[in-house]
Amino acid sequence: MGSFKGGIHLHYNKKRTLLNAVKTCTPPHLVAIPLLQHLGSPAKALVKAGDKVKVGTKIGESSGFMSAHVHSSISGTVKKIANYYHPVVGFAEAIHIESDEKDTKEDHIYPRNVPDNLTSEEIRQIVADCGIVGLGGATLPTHVKLSPPKDKPIDTVIINAAECEPYLTCDHMLMLTRSKEVLLGILLIIKAVNAKHAYIAIEDNKMDAYELLCSKLRSNRWDAIITPFKLATKYPHGAEKQQIKTILNKEVPLGGLPFDIGVVVQNVGTAYAIYEAVYFGKPLYERLVTVSGSCVRTPRNVLARIGTPASALIKECGGFLRPPSKLIMGGPMMGLSQSSEQWPVIKGTSGIVSLHETEIDISDYHNCIRCTKCVNACPMQLVPSRLSILAEHERYQEAKDSGITACIECGICSYVCPAKRPMVQFMKIAKAKALQK
């Protein structure tokens, strides 16, 4: 069992959602499906007001290589295309669809026999056609990750099943309930990039999933190709550079990508989405979402359609026991606070976490006291105290020269800071400024 330098141990708060079975949400009467749900260029609308659509209809077309198709999550009528709440960028163009309550699927969504001679290119094309993106939160179009440069052959695939963020358990639950399907998706990823082997990186607080995967691998004789790798439970073991270092003892060069050292990292949820795309022709129009936090009556994982308002998922979990002071899309370390419950579920929505005022420290921050806690904990071995001060004073070029672009925005520096400095917020701004130059 391996680890990496730096990192911290958190209160994970995961047990409550694992005690309840996954609930399939009722398809909503209205959805607002953003055309931007991925890194890169927004999709271009293919429909207009008045058009009829089915579940799985392509309603937004990729606008380039670094983009992804968007599909309808319900059947019904397009009401309008207009700006709407977006949980990442604030507001974005979205396609609003009213349900016909029939939930009719497109004809191309059906179980199919997958031939053994399916080529790498055919797998990548299916993935692109189905609009699959990284479901761990980064939302990089998956066909891009499955298309390494020809001069950088891939030897190893790492499946990120660490799920190190507090509260989130959708990946854990997926492994418990769809283990064989996840493994079939991993085999497709291996074939798509012509790799020799894959590791499933899983923290040791998920031993039930680890043991189940080991059993499935042995019974299907896939254990020579896929190896579960037990990680120490430590945040941020879900970061791909930390996983690569722990599992392979290799380091991604500064400014480089896993491609550069022959590695591809994919989220376990993405592997399952690839399985569904290839074995059923199913576009990415729904996903598992963890709804949790101290304010939710019945925390659980729900299967939700893309475009469903967050408020509907909270209602499916019994509503609020008490009003939340903070509602977060994602986990509390790297997630984004929301000002409304009306934002729609998007492809990158791994969780909805509600926190009460007693769990949030909103005191004013102070000057750095040079305690070095952030330096000792930084998983990228940076000096966050110095970088955040440079960022605070808008000395962006100096911050860039000092390595700020290597920051993975994990939030550890802010978490451990006794002066309560919003270090990661400063660094996000400076990093964005530095990358513009």
pLDDT reported for residue 30: 98
Euclidean distance between CA atoms 208 and 197, whole angstroms: 23
Q: Provide long-range contacts, Cβ within 8 A and 24+ apart, for 236-239.
A: 236/7, 236/164, 236/333, 236/379, 236/408, 236/410, 236/412, 237/3, 237/4, 237/7, 237/162, 237/164, 237/201, 237/203, 238/136, 238/160, 238/162, 238/163, 238/164, 238/165, 239/379, 239/408, 239/410
Query: Is residue 390 classed as helix, strand or coil in its secondary structure?
Result: helix
- Does one domain contain both 269 and 133? yes
Nearest to 360, CA basis, from 294, 263, 435: 294
Q: Domain containing 402: what range? A: 373-436
Strands 90-99 and 30-34: antiparallel
Euclidean distance between CA atoms 437 and 18, whole angstroms: 45
Q: What are the φ and ψ backbone dihedral angles of 242, each rounded to 5 degrees?
A: -70, -35
Provide the residue-wise pLDDT of the chain in tens; the chain has 437 residues.
Answer: 667 889 999 999 999 999 999 999 999 999 999 999 999 999 999 999 999 999 999 999 999 889 999 999 999 999 999 999 999 999 999 999 999 999 999 999 999 998 888 999 999 999 999 999 999 988 999 999 999 999 999 999 999 999 999 999 999 999 999 999 999 999 999 999 999 999 999 999 999 999 999 999 999 999 999 999 999 999 999 999 999 999 999 999 888 899 999 999 999 999 999 999 999 999 999 999 999 999 999 999 999 999 999 999 999 999 999 999 999 999 999 999 999 999 999 999 999 999 999 988 878 899 999 999 999 999 999 999 999 999 999 999 999 999 999 999 999 999 999 999 999 889 888 888 877 65
108 contact partners, CB below 8 Å, separation of at least 6 = 56, 281
Nearest to 238, CA basis, from 191, 171, 292: 171
- Does one domain contain both 264 and 385? no
- Does one domain contain both 258 and 385? no
Q: What is the DSSP secondary-structure string of 102-128?
A: --PBPTT-S--PPPTT--HHHHHHHHH
Is 294 part of a structural domain of the chain? no
pLDDT reported for residue 114: 87
- Does one domain contain both 139 and 271? yes
Is 345 part of a structural domain of the chain? no
Is 411 part of a structural domain of the chain? yes
Is 155 part of a structural domain of the chain? yes
Q: Which residues pair with 329 in a beta bridge?
A: 336, 352
Overall domain count for the chain: 2
Burial letters for 257-266: b for 16+ Cβ neighbours within 10 Å, e otherwise? Answer: bbbebbbbbb
CATH number of the domain within which 164 lies: 3.40.50.11540
Q: Per the omega criterion (within 30 degrees of 0), is the bond before 236 cis?
A: yes
Final residue belonging to a domain, choices 225, 257, 280? 280
Residue type, 174: L
Final residue belonging to a domain, choices 280, 313, 330? 280
- Does one domain contain both 275 and 418? no
Is 260 part of a structural domain of the chain? yes
- Token pair listed for 376: 């000792």
Is 239 part of a structural domain of the chain? yes
Is 261 part of a structural domain of the chain? yes
- Does one domain contain both 404 and 260? no
Is 199 part of a structural domain of the chain? yes
Contact 96, 265 (CB under 8 A): no
Final residue belonging to a domain, choices 280, 307, 330? 280
Place of tokens 């795309």: 277
- Does one domain contain both 276 and 406? no
Angle between helices 179-193 and 120-129 (to 10 degrees): 120
- Does one domain contain both 274 and 392? no
- Does one domain contain both 134 and 253? yes
pLDDT reported for residue 254: 83
Measured over the CA atoms of residue 322, residue 325, residue 329 and residue 332, the dihedral's sign is: negative
- Does one domain contain both 377 and 266? no
Q: What is the DSSP secondary-structure string of 275-329?
A: HHHHHH---S-EEEEEEEETTBSS-EEEEEETT-BHHHHHHHTT-BSS--SEEEE
